[in-house]
Amino acid sequence: MTKLNVALIFGGKSGEHEVSLLSTASIYKHIDKNKYNVFTIGITKDGKWMYYEGSEENIKNGEWVNLANKNVEINLIPSGSREVGIRFEDGRVENIDVLFPVLHGPYGEDGTIQGLFEISQVPYVGCGVLASSVGMDKLVCKKVFSQIGLPQVEYTYTNKWEFDNNTNQELDNIENKLKYPIFVKPANMGSSVGISKTTNREELLDGINEALKYDSRIVLEQGINAREIEVAVLGNYDVKASIAGEIKPAKDFYDYEDKYLDGASTYDIPAKIDQNTMSDIRRMAIEAFKGIDGKGLSRVDFFIDKDSGEVFINEINTLPGFTNISMYPKMWEKTGLNYEDIIDNLIKLALDSKK
């Protein structure tokens, strides 16, 4: 059997660089190397692309930067006689059959690198330009969800220019629209980076200033007494949803450290919800995915109000975490699809999307 050449692309310039390293190390460990020749291409925090060949441990701990082979040429732009692929020092060129981005956050999950992949004309894993950009932008995504009739908590928004020039007026507007607690989120960031829960005006001011470090547009959401429910989706046109899982945060909310570092939160898979609610959430996850023109994979997050029982969609993550404690592979495993099979499915979906 001829092996497919698969290039894992990881790292990147976003604040989620370290998350990408953890996800990539896990995928590299689990991918079936009897089926695939795996090439690992890292992007440094300052945007340099480098070829690395070695163990997943050195990807995870960041040592790949020092061990990368700087004499290997990476070319993704078809031009003249230059082939798309990886050119080694001896002149050998390995063409890439499938690009597998493992890049979370800006420059990797927001449609920018997907545009490069489209130009390269090489099949790639995951959502395309439109779905990636919409899914990454919490504000635009909320407007899309409203259009397709998915329920959401009350929200408002501001931007750096308005806030810097009319700080007190903007704070007044937010407090008039929402009650405390209020969640503050950068519009374009994932993995809970830059998110804070605020309970008074001083915390709100600090939270907005923190979020503005990551983006010029800020989303503010009404905090509710919520259960946090997640669903994994997989597919191009025939989309499937996993059983839902429930996160039980160790803190006020499921933050970056808990997701990727200490893993202190617990979870239930399947979530302890009735079958009607489970069915509704899985259906809404597929609707959300199709609503942004998703392909390949996403994780869709929901809230269930503990007081009213109402279900609200929170957000969609078009390139969810793949670490050993990430919910996406765990939910599929409980649904009957193991980690290796997820990877196989994603590669097949990438190839099918270009037929």
* SS3 of residue 291 by DSSP: helix
185 labeled part of a ligand binding site: yes
Do residues 250 and 335 both lie within one domain?
yes
**From the centroid of its chain, how far is CA 196?**
19
- The torsion angles phi and psi of 315, rounded to 5 degrees, stand at -160, 170
Domain with 265, as residue range(s), is: 135-152+225-352
Do residues 239 and 318 both lie within one domain?
yes
User: The domain spanning residue 99 has which CATH number?
Assistant: 3.40.50.20
Do residues 54 and 24 both lie within one domain?
yes
Do residues 179 and 229 both lie within one domain?
no
Number of domains into which the chain is organized: 3
CB under 8 A, 24+ apart: contacts of 285-289: 285/231, 285/233, 285/241, 286/233, 286/239, 286/240, 286/241, 287/148, 287/150, 288/145, 288/148, 288/150, 288/313, 288/316, 289/233, 289/239, 289/316
226 labeled part of a ligand binding site: yes
Q: Measured between alpha carbons, how far is 320 from 205 in angstroms, rounded to an integer? A: 29
Q: Is residue 161 assigned to a domain?
A: yes
Q: Measured between alpha carbons, how far is 25 from 233 in angstroms, rounded to an integer? A: 22
Q: Which of 23, 133, 265, 326 is catalytic?
A: 326
221 labeled part of a ligand binding site: yes
Do residues 140 and 279 both lie within one domain?
yes
Do residues 48 and 197 both lie within one domain?
no
Do residues 160 and 147 both lie within one domain?
no
* SS3 of residue 265 by DSSP: coil
Do residues 177 and 196 both lie within one domain?
yes
Q: Measured between alpha carbons, how far is 57 from 63 in angstroms, rounded to an integer? A: 8
Whether residue 186 has a cis bond before it, omega within 30° of 0:
no
CB atoms within 10 A of CB 262: 10
* SS3 of residue 23 by DSSP: helix
Tokens (6 digits) for 57: 């441990």
120 labeled part of a ligand binding site: no
Whole-model pTM? 0.91
Q: Would the CA dihedral through 52, 58, 63, 67 be positive or negative? A: negative
191 labeled part of a ligand binding site: yes
Q: Measured between alpha carbons, how far is 244 from 123 in angstroms, rounded to an integer? A: 29
Q: What is the DSSP annotation of 122-190?
A: --BSS--HHHHHHHHBHHHHHHHHHHTT-----EEEEEHHHHHHSHHHHHHHHHHH-PSSEEEEESB--
Q: Is residue 216 assigned to a domain?
A: yes
Q: Is 154 a catalytic residue?
A: no
Do residues 12 and 77 both lie within one domain?
yes
Q: Is 326 a catalytic residue?
A: yes
Q: Is residue 130 assigned to a domain?
A: no
Closest by CA to 337, choosing from 267, 234, 251, 200, is 234
Do residues 58 and 96 both lie within one domain?
yes
265 labeled part of a ligand binding site: no
Q: Which of 20, 191, 196, 242 is catalytic?
A: 191
Tokens (6 digits) for 192: 């809970």
Q: Is 191 a catalytic residue?
A: yes
Tokens (6 digits) for 115: 């545009």
Do residues 214 and 273 both lie within one domain?
no
* Alpha helix (H) residue ranges in the chain: 17-30, 56-60, 64-67, 112-120, 129-136, 138-147, 160-165, 167-177, 201-211, 256-260, 275-291, 327-335, 339-352
**From the centroid of its chain, how far is CA 63?**
24
Query: Tens of pLDDT along the chain (355 residues)?
Result: 689 999 999 999 988 899 999 999 999 999 999 999 999 999 999 999 999 999 999 999 999 999 999 999 999 988 766 778 999 999 899 999 999 999 998 899 999 999 999 999 999 999 999 999 999 999 999 999 999 999 999 999 999 999 999 999 999 999 999 999 999 999 886 556 789 999 999 999 999 999 999 889 999 999 999 999 999 999 999 999 999 999 988 756 545 555 545 556 789 999 999 999 999 999 999 999 999 999 999 999 999 999 999 999 999 999 999 987 899 999 999 999 999 999 999 999 999 987 6
72 labeled part of a ligand binding site: no
User: The domain spanning residue 168 has which CATH number?
Assistant: 3.30.1490.20
- The torsion angles phi and psi of 252, rounded to 5 degrees, stand at -60, -35
Do residues 237 and 291 both lie within one domain?
yes
324 labeled part of a ligand binding site: no
